[in-house]
Structure 1
Amino acid sequence: MVSIEGMADFWERLFGAQPDPPPLLVVLTGLVALLVVVTRLPWRIARNAITIAHEGGHALVAVLTGRKLHGIRLHSDTSGLTLSAGRPTGPGMVLTLLAGYLAPPLVGLGGAWLLAGNRITLLLWIAVLLLLAMLVMIRNLYGALTLVIVGGAVLAVSWYASPQVQAAFAWTGVWFLLLGGVRPVVELQRLRARRGMPASDADQLAGITPLPAFFWVVLFGLVNLTVLVTGGLMLAGPLLAEAGLT
């Protein structure tokens, strides 16, 4: 039976604030995340995390707008698919399609807000809970294995790792979501320019609104860049404080 003291320690560990990270950690984790985003093989592997956030964004907004969520599939080529039922047009469908490319940096922004308050363990546990919630809706083996591996890694770090390792892991992950949200938008437009992508989120939005697909691609890019700058300033708080700029 768990004692009152044990529960108090657990809640303190979960909601308590960790010490401010060294400014060097903020810089190094940002550089590591940037290196992963701009290099081919690391990006090819780490892009699965962006796909998880992308499809999770579709799924969450579909449910919030009253659509019936049928399931999510994650594929080994880092693509994904979220199936929902409801009106094929209208605000609900527009918001559901919009959510995919915007979700990774917006999730990163939420993470940056938590890290700005040094709530590292809370951030990691929220990530685990979101991954578990998404696992329920996964409809293929690769997707399930991916979520179990990612969720298990985050849980292990949150429970067993030292505060320093937790901080490095959390800052790298949040930097990656913020930075990694920009590259898929660039890749999307490159693919569209070469051969067209009638099934892309932007092209589907063009099919149910009066606005062309390029408008939606630009919107994805502008929002994600704005979120990157905002989240980056939050993450750089210890660095700015060291420089006397806050």
Structure 2
Amino acid sequence: MSMDDNLLYLRSYLLMRAVIGLVGVALPFGLVLGDWALEHGTLLAKGSLSAYYYSGMHDVFVGSLCVTGLFLVTYKVFEHNLDNVLSGVAGVAALGVALFPTNRPGGGTVELTPLQRELGERTVATVHYTSAAVFIVALGVMSLYFGIREGRKDDRPDALPPRFWRRFHWTCTAGIAAAIAFIALSQVTGWLVAYSLIVGETLAVLSFGASWLMKGLELRVLLAPKRSAMAVAGRSQP
């Protein structure tokens, strides 16, 4: 394979990572603002991001998570390493969150989905909550691993130092950990319990999105002239 082909593959690979990160960053805002615009109601009408499954933003919620899940499952499917295991687990969990809805709002006034009628609403909700927990934890471990790996790279004059990327990804990991801690604390103490899930989920998704967006947004490869990008690509590892 020629260097030109390698550059094209690397650019496509980086762009996909950046797009998945952008989906993560945009999803909470899209759900909240989109539902508010469609329903003309209060800005935070739902108690969790998952509850937007039962709103006019249903397709955006399910579609975004399915795209993210499929990308993560296939991200490094041909590699046998920790990246492959973590991304595969996170991808399957994301699909579980999308396809197995949470409990219906309004005390069951919304009609059951075919899946809920077949398996039972409680069973479907259990799969949803379990998938959400696994998804968030897997994302946190992936961000931690990104930081470790990026911090081991050599300094380059044309890029930000490895210590910056280590701290950046570890900050994203801390954001996901803070989201988990906030949800747990709120559920135990009752403090801000009405907003615990949507705040915690939003913080976790934004942290995940930021980590992947910046990991893929290597402009010196994506936008640089071919010769300069090829020189950088020869030293870059996806």
TM range (shorter): 0.3 to 0.5
TM-score by length of 2: 0.36
- TM-score w.r.t. length of structure 1: 0.35
